[in-house]
Amino acid sequence: MTTTLRPESPETPTPAGGRTRRWQICVNGRPVGGLRTTAVRRGGQLWGEIAELEVSSGRGRGRGTIGALAAEEVLRGWGCTRVDADIPEAAQVARSLAVTLGYTERMRNMVKRLDAPPALPTGVAARPIGAAEFPAWLAEAKAGYLHDLCASGLDEEEARAKADADHARLLPQGADTAGVALRRLYGAGEEPLGSLWLALRLRDLPDGAPLAWVMVVEVADAHRGRGHGRTLMRLAEHACLSAGVRHLGLNVFSGNSVAIRLYESLGYRVTNRVYGKPLL
């Protein structure tokens, strides 16, 4: 039997010079499943993504494996240097397949439904990050993101390209970008304790409900281990509810066990895991 990919739909351009296409997985010309390949521009590089992988007929016969390997070849042909696979938490078989094919878990998506605003502690205050503070804050945010990307398995060139591209895309007007909350947390004596970047409506959930996203929650090195990360997350939840948004999500790098424990204690649950590897 011969397993191949066959285009299911026309190739579609994506923002910033990328492309995407849906494919059928076929055995001897008969569709048995499907997947989607996407190339996303990250600075001067293209990153590949494999999503929507499903085998509808003849599971357990290696068809998903062959489909994924064929998708990697498509992405190589498109000039991609890396590939990521975004896999739902419940899809244990797909997660096992990713590990078998040499993918490493890089990060987790976690989401919480917000019902009531949590109490904020006394003795701290939060204020918006304005235009004058923004350049210094952005440099800090990029440095922290770059460190986390490298720790998740990217080399420095890949990490820097992604960090530059993501910040330029998500904060096009800097501190004045619409739909964004930028906050600095202060303690007694106006000492900065940490900062928060929140996208108040990153996308919608399948039922149409808006989903906000924590882009950065960062505590100053000298003040870690004192509960300020929890305070910043509570501040994010307050901002969401004030904007009428009841679902808040975030990415956490898989190696950051301290942050994962914090988010779990606050009621956040894993919805997806992202696995990745270089395309050699």
Total number of domains constituting the chain = 2
**Which of 149, 200, 153, 185 lies closest to 43 in space, CA to CA?**
149
Place of tokens 């357990």: 60
Question: What's the predicted TM-score (pTM) here?
Answer: 0.86
Tokens of residue 246, six digits: 């009841």
Which domain range does residue 64 map to? 3-80
Q: So what's the pLDDT on residue 1?
A: 62
Residue 231's pLDDT band, with cuts at 50, 70 and 90, is very high
Is the same domain home to 46 and 165? no
Question: Is residue 106 one of the residues assigned to a domain?
Answer: no
Q: Are residues 64 and 135 in the same domain?
A: no
Q: Which amino acid is at 239?
A: A
Mean pLDDT (whole number) for 227-253: 94
**Shared domain check, 226 and 123:** yes
Q: Residue 43: which region, alpha, beta or left (left: phi > 0; alpha: psi -120 to 50)?
A: left
**Looking at the domain assignment, is residue 91 inside a domain?**
no
How far apart, in whole angstroms, are the C-alpha atoms of residue 276 and residue 158?
13
Same domain, 141 and 48: no
Q: What is the pLDDT of residue 203?
A: 83
Amino acid at 20: T
- Per-residue pLDDT reduced to its tens digit, 117-159: 888 888 899 999 999 999 999 998 999 888 888 887 778 888 8
136 and 260 fall within a common domain: yes
The pair of three-digit structure tokens given for residue 107, joined into one six-digit string: 């990060």
Average pLDDT over residues 192-217: 91
Q: C-alpha 48: how far from its chain's center? A: 14
